[in-house]
Structure 1
């Protein structure tokens, strides 16, 4: 099992998005790479901590590899939007790929550079070692499962990507 941390705007939708794929063992919403310890949602939301809303993803690399996870990630974000995804704006909504295992870096860089080459310009997505990570409050975990009509900047079709892909195979 491996772990990667992905920030892509509001963490509610990103968590729901990744929960659909086979090989994703678990997801958890949280706050990454900020300047304070144990931030609350209010600290993060009001840009008092420097953290970004992030999803911790644990995956079974024998079922889904990191390259595929990053391909999905780039489908779900606007890699040119600085500190903004959808209607969500602020440093806490910046995009980022964070790792706590240096052995992942070559695969991350390869896919990151491949995606930039496909798009033809540089991304504003952070690519950094994980400095810190704190789990979000319980009410943020699986939020869109608990609140199906909750706000999300991701298009609804992304939440059925895995199921729709199976139909076309």
Structure 2
């Protein structure tokens, strides 16, 4: 009968690697933001040092596992959002909020730039009391700066549903179509109008 000792030793040797992988997963945090078209939100968060990954999806509604067509058609309560996975040792939640605000129009309700409807509302979905406190403080600072009512919602995070695969990394996978859409939508011009040199937040 062949010895199983080499296999047993090999399995034990993998345990530290598995533990290290688990530690790596625990070293990241997640945040969820809605800023209109999730293709654009992915793009600006991907440019932030310390952001590990972004995923386009839906949150804030009452329909389980909605499709893109359902969400943009209205009635689901969901907004287009991006789940941001980040390394807190490189970037903190306050910095993500800073970048978020400077990439949206905080004054409009149920729309962002050329996209209109509840799916395109701007929103911050907070997962803890600390996140909510920071989000509310950042919203109040924006309101004080512009002396205007801020339409951006701050909601408790409940569930995130990933969008279809063809929406993920769209700005990278379809650069020509994406650039045409972004230009035609007037996003950059409106951001510069609101935020000036701070537009983009980076």
Choose between structure 1 and 2: higher helix proportion: 2
Distance in 1, Cα, partners of 2:188 & 2:56: 19
**Matching residue of 1:134:** 161
- Does the CA contact (< 8 Å) of 1:3 and 1:99 recur in 2? no
Q: Give me the TM-score of the superposition, normalised by structure 1.
A: 0.88
**What residue ranges of structure 1 are gaps of 5+ in the alignment?**
none
- Counterpart among 73, 82, 89 of residue 109 in structure 2: 82
- Counterpart among 119, 122, 128 of residue 101 in structure 1: 128
**What residue ranges of structure 2 are gaps of 5+ in the alignment?**
1-27, 193-199
| Greater radius of gyration (CA) | 2
Which stretches of structure 1, 4 residues or more, deviate above 4 A after TM superposition?
none
**Matching residue of 1:110:** 137
Query: Deviations for 1:102-159, whole angstroms, at most 9, x for unmatched residues?
Result: 332222222221122112122010101013210000100000101112222432999x
Q: Give me the TM-score of the superposition, normalised by structure 2.
A: 0.74
Alignment of 1:158-169 (within 5 A): none
Q: CA RMSD in A?
A: 2.1
Q: Which piece of structure 1 moves more, 144-153 or 84-93?
A: 144-153
- Counterpart among 39, 46, 49 of residue 12 in structure 1: 39
**Matching residue of 1:34:** 61
**Matching residue of 1:155:** 188
Higher relative contact order (CA 8 A, sep 6+): 1
Query: Deviations for 1:12-43, whole angstroms, at most 9, x for unmatched residues?
Result: 01101110111111110000011110000010
Aligned residues: 162
